[in-house]
Chain A
């Protein structure tokens, strides 16, 4: 098996690494896409919520600022009141720093906690505050992890800007927790994919390898190699079952072929052995000059009987092999009435010898079919020959052509012992002879097999009719009723060769 993979090839291009790689890739892509789709919007959303919380708090605190008392000395809002309102707002925003600026951008009552020297903050905040002075709505700005929200307001006619800045580190922290969780999930997912991949790939590969080994065994040991079994309900199971089915079918064919060869060689060699023996005995007699003329005549006759058998068998076997190689049959109009009559005439002499009457009944009107004339004649010959072999002396064999619905048919029936129920199906198999056939002279059990195959090849069939199926009434091919009457007696055998009829309107054209 040079086509088998080597160890390294298996590692690189085998199904297992490919399946594993595919599963890992799928898991990694899924987790990556999920992370991208989740983490960034989550961060955005958390920041947005943080800012919005500040805005709501500022809006609801706005009226308190506008109603602050003014210190008469400084004309600024009351320091204590302002501190109180600022602290309240600070709490409401969840830890934001609150600053009130005047329109010169100076902090109103700076607190001792506030370090306004941080340049970034101050620049950012003052920029936002300046813009807020000109805007009716909120002005937002984010510097590093700090969100700055500014809102213009009036206190007793003076313009001020309320600024809240809030650290948003918790957003980054939350996102980092989620990211970590994602990494853990990814590791677990990839590991699961890896294990699952190895498991599935190994199980599948084992089954595929079993199938491959079964194929190799078939190649090495032939059809007797054990048939693989796989009851899996998947494609590999299907493949195994298909393989097993094919092997069984081949085995059956091989058995049939073997049994055919065995039987054919018995049928060929036994008459040869008899013939050889008879001639040898004759030769000895001649050599010893002790020839009994009467005995010699008898033996010569027997020898000729054997050669006739052999040539009949040769014809049958050649016919079969022609059928098996599907030689093309002709297809042309054939009138069955005339054909049946002509073939029956060939048997007049041998029928007379057996004191059997051949009654060929012509059809009421011409009975056309499209077929191979030689093959139809061959089938009718097989049927008459068969009937002659079983017909008791002074009985009659009916041969009738006629139409039955869409078929043109030839029916041949005899008054012989008939076919026992158990044999009815087997009788069309090769080398199947009826009981006593050997003692009735000749016949290898090939005729009916050949006949049926020929009939099927021409689009028709060759059937053994049951008593109740035998033509009677309106489909009876014989109008005078002899056939129907004889069938009702229950004895005998009745074969029908059915071929597709040519419709009546076309028959005129042919005629």
Chain B
């Protein structure tokens, strides 16, 4: 699997030195460039200064901004780097809180390194692997360029996170078709692990905020109560 991926830049943010070191070793061994920082402020500065392919972000970061705040700050600055939260809490509410803050995915501690690697791969394979097609799908005011991973709405470029892009891409692949949340989860992550279906609701809300004129009265991505979502056919 590894050989299909190029060498990546990974940022590890964790206040626990042993875990930082373990993660660094594990990903370095796969041939990636890993940088690690111990606190939230430094993470925000690093991510703003350098390009990363993925950020592994712990929630509890000691003094200063915590993981959620780091995530929110990066998203507010229109930074769409894929973010996987490392959380010690496995309640659904905590998971959703991370996604609300703008994270793409979350892993609950203690996790196996293999599991974490597979999640990273799930992001990166899609994020980098579609360059061949270069197809552009255009429905109404929305145009989605798979090759460049770019979306324009009413002629203006919109920056989508990894999961938002994958979600929109799936919805636009069959306009008018009703997708249930499980299908949409698979569209983003493949079959790598179980995830809370509520994650989809969070991503959809973020998408609407970026695409719709009136997010509270959506015209593009429609909710089918109790069933799922569909993209409005032109």
Is B one of A's binding partners?
yes
A residues at B contact (CB < 8 Å): 261-263, 265-278, 280-281, 284, 302, 305-306, 435, 438-439
12 inter-chain pairs at a CB distance below 8 angstroms, sorted by A residue, are: A265-B88, A265-B89, A266-B88, A266-B89, A269-B88, A269-B108, A269-B109, A270-B58, A270-B88, A274-B19, A277-B19, A281-B26
B88 touches A277 (CB 8 A): no
Task: Look across to chain A and name the residue whose beta carbon is closest to the beta carbon of B94.
Answer: A262
Known: A262-B88, A269-B109, A281-B25. A274 touches B16 (CB 8 A): yes
Known: A277-B113, A302-B18. A268 touches B88 (CB 8 A): yes
Please give 20 more A-B residue pairs, beta carbons under 8 A apart, in addition to A267-B88, A273-B22.
Answer: A262-B60, A262-B94, A266-B88, A269-B88, A270-B19, A270-B109, A271-B16, A274-B16, A276-B111, A277-B23, A278-B18, A278-B22, A280-B113, A281-B25, A281-B113, A284-B29, A306-B18, A438-B16, A438-B62, A439-B17
Residue numbers in A under 8 Å from B62 (CB-CB): 438
Task: Look across to chain B and name the residue whose beta carbon is closest to the beta carbon of A285.
Answer: B29
B227 within 8 A of A: no
Residue numbers in B under 8 Å from A284 (CB-CB): 29
A272 touches B18 (CB 8 A): no
A273 touches B109 (CB 8 A): yes
Q: How many residues of B contact A (CB 8 A)?
A: 28
The 4 closest A-B pairs by CB, nearest first: A277-B22, A269-B109, A272-B110, A266-B88
Task: Look across to chain B and name the residue whose beta carbon is closest to the beta carbon of A306.
Answer: B18
Residue numbers in A under 8 Å from B95 (CB-CB): none
Main secondary structure of the interface of A (DSSP, over half): helix
B18 touches A274 (CB 8 A): yes
Residue numbers in B under 8 Å from A302 (CB-CB): 18, 21
Residue numbers in B under 8 Å from A306 (CB-CB): 18
A271 to B116, CA, bound (A): 16
Residue numbers in A under 8 Å from B113 (CB-CB): 276-277, 280-281
A97 to B69, CA, bound (A): 111
A269 touches B25 (CB 8 A): no
A interface footprint on B132-144 (CB within 8 Å = 1, 0 otherwise): 0000000000000
A261 to B62, CA, bound (A): 16
Within residues 49 to 79 of chain B, which ones have a CB less than 8 A from any CB in chain A?
Answer: 58-60, 62-63
A266 touches B19 (CB 8 A): no
- Report the minimum CB–CB distance from B47 to chain A (whole Å): 22
A277 to B89, CA, bound (A): 18
Known: A274-B19, A274-B22, A281-B113. A266 touches B60 (CB 8 A): yes
B15 within 8 A of A: yes
Residue numbers in B under 8 Å from A305 (CB-CB): 18
- Report the minimum CB–CB distance from A298 to chain B (whole Å): 10
Task: Look across to chain B and name the residue whose beta carbon is closest to the beta carbon of A309.
Answer: B18
Task: Look across to chain A and name the residue whose beta carbon is closest to the beta carbon of B58.
Answer: A270
Task: Look across to chain A and name the residue whose beta carbon is closest to the beta carbon of B18.
Answer: A274
Known: A265-B89, A280-B112. A273 touches B19 (CB 8 A): yes
- Report the minimum CB–CB distance from B59 to chain A (whole Å): 7
Contact of A273 among B25, B59, B89, B111 (CB under 8 A): B111
B63 touches A435 (CB 8 A): yes
A262 touches B19 (CB 8 A): no
Residue numbers in A under 8 Å from B58 (CB-CB): 270
B114 within 8 A of A: yes
A158 to B121, CA, bound (A): 147
Contact of A271 among B18, B59, B112 (CB under 8 A): B18
- Report the minimum CB–CB distance from A269 to chain B (whole Å): 4
Among A268, A270, A302: residue with most chain B CB under 10 A: A270
